[in-house]
Amino acid sequence: MMETKIADSRKEGGMAPRRAERVAHDREGGKSRDMASLTEIPPETYTGAALGSLLGPLGTVAGGVAGYLLAKKVSVNVTRLNGVGNSLGTDIATANRVFSQAGITIQTAKTETLSAADSSAILGADNKLDDFTSPALTTEEQSLVAHNRTAGRITAYYVPEFIHAGTRGEAMIPSYHGVTESSIVISSADRVNDTFAHEMGHVLLNDASHDNDASNLMASGDIRNFTDKLTKGQIKKAQGSKYVH
């Protein structure tokens, strides 16, 4: 079995997704991020600290704490299937950079990694997620999204790849799928740096459609240029999401 990827000339100077991701990673200073990076200080803490610093050293600390406590937050459960790569730290960092435009911080909550047996029970022998082709979830997706649920919280799932070759990620949301709680699924093999943020955008906006502006976070992956802007309307809608507290 051979998988082949074609460079898209409109994406990162014509590079294939994985190549584009490596460049984006290099642009961030080439730092390797892993689960430990989830403890990184979110941007609103810096803002609060900067304001607090006007009152002296204690003000800096108090401002930082106040900034963190007052920020709008989204908590995400995370389930990684057996054998997937660990891009969670990078994905959360990118999402936080993007959603700082809306004053929203994404943070992980309950995380788990499924055993080989549990993963195989979901994906079957092909080790690929049978992804939806209509609003109805597939049997494999229904099995997947039953894991790691908390009422009122999004769960993100990392799978090895999708059965439809090259699919980077997908979101299951009430407005399109009729589900009660939202989920996102990321292909470990095919994701790019802002796939997690893009899928979170579908959830926070509760909207399955795509933006025609290549600089917008919600542009489709075939045109999106990693600028990842949010419009004022998108910011307002995201801030009003039931998942933002």
Query: Which residues would be at the binding site for another protein (CB under 8 A)?
Result: 1-10, 14, 16, 131-135, 163-170, 176, 190, 195, 198-199, 208-210, 220-223
Beta-carbon count within 10 A of 112 CB: 13
- If the CB atoms of residues 64 and 169 are measured against another protein, the closer one turns out to be 169
- If the CB atoms of residues 44 and 199 are measured against another protein, the closer one turns out to be 199
Angle between helices 43-52 and 57-70 (to 10 degrees): 140
- If the CB atoms of residues 66 and 204 are measured against another protein, the closer one turns out to be 204
Token pair listed for 188:
């470990």
Distance between CA 42 and CA 7 in Å, rounded? Answer: 34
For residue 31, the one-letter residue type is K
CB of 67 to another protein, least distance (A): 32
Helix, strand, or coil (residue 55): helix
CB of 225 to another protein, least distance (A): 13
- If the CB atoms of residues 53 and 231 are measured against another protein, the closer one turns out to be 231
CB of 90 to another protein, least distance (A): 16
Maximal C-alpha separation, the chain: 64
Residue 228 main-chain phi, psi, to 5 deg: 60, 45
CB of 10 to another protein, least distance (A): 6
